[in-house]
Chains A and B, each alone.
Chain A
Amino acid sequence: MKKLRLTVRTRSFVEGYFFISLWIAGFFLFMAVPLGRSIYYSFQELKMNTGRMTAEFVGLEHYRYAFTVDIDFMPILISTIKTVLIQVPLILIFAMFCALLLNKPMRGRLFFRGVYFLPVIVASGNSLKRLTEQGAATLPIFKQYDLYTIMLNYIPEQLLTPLLTMMDSLMIVMWGSGVQIIIFMAGLQSIPVSLYEAAKCDGATPWEVFWKITFPMMMPMILVSTLFTIVDSFTKVDNQMIKYNWTLMFNKLSFGYASAIGWIYFAFVFLVIFIVLFMFRNTSALAQERR
């Protein structure tokens, strides 16, 4: 009996591998092997000579160069991380706001949902790049009417400059939140109505209901969309760091150095994600306690 069960198990595994094998083969050939090679290349100096590559081992030279010699690398890395860290909370807050609005019963909800998702289709990849190049993605009002100097009279400069950079990326934030809105709407619909009814009976205000019920119950959804937003904005085409890596790779043809930079960048992305996971571990534990 025991032996038979084992063979059934192994048989199901063999069948499982049969199903998965094609994908694994493709993944190894075009993803894992290139990734492994790029680690290897990051320790090499690669030169293109009449169509053939020649490699020379340089050890950690590229990594040292990136941090100590290259004057472009660190500023770009820091500003990329800064932009992402500013944009991610904005996208999440905007998406939450829209999801709350769209969750109310009203006419044309399906239509609005489609419209809010549309930028994910239209303003992605190359067309978004073209839009930002043409300056269509920033609001021209601030420059046109010289609002900066006027507002400087009322708001201190230290506060105004980050505020305006936020306003400047407003369109990017709005167009980048389609997926998150859908995730949040799904989360909102999964909260049982009885919780809201109980809160109403106890005389809770809408404000209290949001912070005591909606927000904690949405914690898993918030984590998912935070991670998604971080990964998405770190690997977007119009990202400064990606652009820099691209020029190193294809204009300056220094493959070894570009690979090294790609890996350093990946390490930072991973670090940010790790920190976020750590932060959320505490908050979701808190939410659980409260429940």
Chain B
Amino acid sequence: MNESSIVRRNDWSGRILFLLLTLFGLLMLAPLVYLTSTAFKPKAELFLFPPRFFVMNPTLLNFTDLLSVTESSLVPFSRYIFNSIIVAGSVVIGGIAIGSMAAYPLSKHKGMPFGRLIFKMIILALMFAPAVTQIPQYLVMTELGMMNTYWALILPGLASPIGLFLMKQFLDQIPDALLEAARIDGANEVHTFRKIIFPLLQPAVATYALFSFIAAWNDSWSASVFTTSDQMKTLPFAIMSISGGVNDIARAGAMAASSFLMIIPTLVVFIVTQRKVMETMAHSGIKG
């Protein structure tokens, strides 16, 4: 009642506000709309220049194209989907476990030797251009004998500086008194972590889950470098290679359809985690 009375009092300014927000909101929705409408465009519309925003004659041809392309691939396509799910799932779950465990002492064990140094290293690691480390990473991987295994695809994504930073900042907001109470009640460290820290960390965990899922799901680079056999490739790499990359004209339709389909899982994860993501962003203010 209170809120509606405010709106009624400044009716015209409220309307202008609403209009501006809608206008910006529409522009914010633009990439999603563009991706969706491109997926339904017939060939003739795909290559229009300047590109048209909305589809004129929607068609499902791109999807049937994609289906026939996937059926002609050497390895059954379900294998790629399976690989992608395994890799993205392990990166998310493992990353959460390792990151939250590391965030706890960094935030709550004050005066730990090298604690500040480790935190500074994290900040520095956030600033590096990823291309710098990629070749040495490949060499480390070959030396460890992990080429063509799931390990090669999963392990580099686990110890993420972003995830640790996010969770550490979030933990800093949680009062120490809570932990002291638990310790007085005789909880050991593992118990404290499992029963108090981890449940309280949920918003940060959700945020990190979202970002690491997006990164792992869309990552075609590690599959192209760390694996050589077709059995081990992941979905984004498979799509890139079977549809001949961005510049292949004949398969452009299949490409558009696949990039639309690829974004659906990330959207689902976003909708599931949305509320908690907003909470964390408010606290720690950083993303991946």
Contacts and interface: CB of A to CB of B under 8 A. Distances in A.
Given A125-B214, A135-B50, A140-B50, A17 B105 contact: yes
Interface in A184-235: 185-186, 189, 221, 224-225, 228, 231-232, 234-235
A102 B24 CA distance: 11
Given A124-B214, A255-B135, A13 B35 contact: no
Chain B residues touching A, majority SS: helix
Main secondary structure of the interface of A (DSSP, over half): helix
Contacts of A114: 274, 278
Nearest to B31: A123
A182 B282 contact: yes
Most buried by B among A15, A128, A273: A15
Given A20-B118, A242-B129, A130 B218 contact: no
Interface in A140-167: 140, 143-144
B126 A231 contact: yes
Give the interface size bracket for B toward A: 35 or more
Contacts, number: 241
A245 B50 contact: no
A4 interface: no
Contacts of A276: none
A223 B127 CA distance: 16
Contact of A16 (B109, B135, B263): B109
Interface string B106-139: 1001011101001001000111111111111101
B140 interface: yes
Contacts of A179: 281, 285-287
A19 B139 contact: no
A268 B214 CA distance: 29
Contacts of B267: 121-122
15 contacts: A9-B111, A16-B112, A24-B102, A25-B159, A33-B136, A35-B128, A122-B266, A127-B31, A131-B31, A136-B51, A186-B283, A186-B285, A235-B128, A259-B132, A263-B132
